[in-house]
Copies of this chain bind each other. A is one copy, B any other.
Amino acid sequence: MQITIDIDAEEPLFAQLMGGIKAAVSAGTLAPGAPLPSIRQLANDLDLNNKTVAKAYQLLERDNIIQTKGYRGTFVHPDAKAHVDFDLNAWVAGQISDTVEACRARGATDSEIRIAFANLMQNKMNGGQ
């Protein structure tokens, strides 16, 4: 598994790592069921912090690309190749884009949309206005 991490890149480190693993799965370098390095091992190899690798692993598991089996380590998900093409972030971006467009069409300013979003994500819901 050859993954290159560029400290100076704009893309976050954990995202680079995710991309590298997904690419390896897609290319077959990482076959379904194959074991992945432990978090600490990979962090050491790539000169990353444990938490950065752990974050990438958690998101990859959430996306059904890998599977963690506790003390037994982490493995490529049996159906990894079926899920590696689905980009959740892209789907989310599309959903949000549609909604924002609808709000703009109703006359809402970007500032208002941002505020509504921020209130929602903070569970504040002051109502305001």
Interface residues of A (CB under 8 A from B): 10-12, 15, 18-19, 59, 62-63, 87-93, 95-100, 102-103, 106-110, 112-117, 119-121, 125-129
Contacts and interface: CB of A to CB of B under 8 A. Distances in A.
Contacts of A128: 11-12, 15, 89
B19 A129 contact: yes
Given A15-B129, A99-B95, A129-B19, A106 B120 contact: no
Contacts of A63: 107
Contacts of A121: 100, 110, 113-114
A62 to B, nearest CB: 6
Of A98, A116, A126, most buried by chain B (CB within 10 Å of CB) is A116
Contacts of A126: 10-11
Interface of A, secondary structure class, is helix
A100 B120 contact: yes
A62 B109 CA distance: 10
Nearest to A62: B107
Contacts of A88: 106-108, 112
A6 to B, nearest CB: 14
